[in-house]
Amino acid sequence: MQTDRPTDAPTLTVIGHIETPWTRAEDCPRNAMETETVCRVVLDPAYRAGLASLETCTHVFLLYWLDRADRGTITLTPPNDTETHGVFALRAPGRPNPIGLAVADLVAVAGDGLLVRHVDCFDGTPLLDIKPYFASTDSKPQARVGWHERRARPLPPQGRMEGG
């Protein structure tokens, strides 16, 4: 298939980093809702003016670069399933472009960034962007992931517990 699109990779700008207590994969939450830990988002000084009015928000989207993830993963079998799925049907960190996404509770806006809850990345993870979460347009309560609903090994009701 031929396209008229350029083949050059886009240029991304890292605007800061995320500080978390997790440095090892076995300690990091499998998804952002598994932890109540408050983490720090530190913006580079050139981008801090972009936080204006964010203090009026309760939740934000954080987009971050999972810099330690395997970029060659195309299919895998999740630990809570026996079937193999394509990476684009999963939230696994390993993927061609390891972009992480979290809907984080905005705890506070600080001088150099944010305090947030519900992130699932390693300490020092590069931050790509922050966007406000609009419940009126971003929430899709009817959304379903069919393979996850019928997986062979259901997750416990609360998912993984802190520290385990």
Report pLDDT digits (tens) over 101-157.
Answer: 999 999 999 989 999 999 999 999 999 999 999 999 999 888 888 888 887 656 555
Task: Provide the Cα torsion 16, 164, 146, 105; round to 10°.
Answer: -40
Q: Pick one of 1.10.10.10, 3.40.1160.10, 2.40.30.70, 3.40.50.300 as the CATH number of 16-134.
A: 2.40.30.70
Of residues 134, 164, 127, 99, the one with CA closest to residue 40:
127
Report pLDDT digits (tens) over 65-79.
Answer: 999 989 999 999 988
pTM for the structure as a whole: 0.83
Long-range CB contact pairs, 152-160, < 8 A, 24+ = 152/81, 152/82, 152/83, 153/80, 153/81, 153/82, 154/80, 155/80, 159/30, 159/31, 159/33, 159/34, 160/29, 160/30, 160/34
Domain ranges of the chain: 16-134
pLDDT at residue 60 tops 90: yes
Query: Helix H segments across 67-164?
Result: 135-138, 146-149
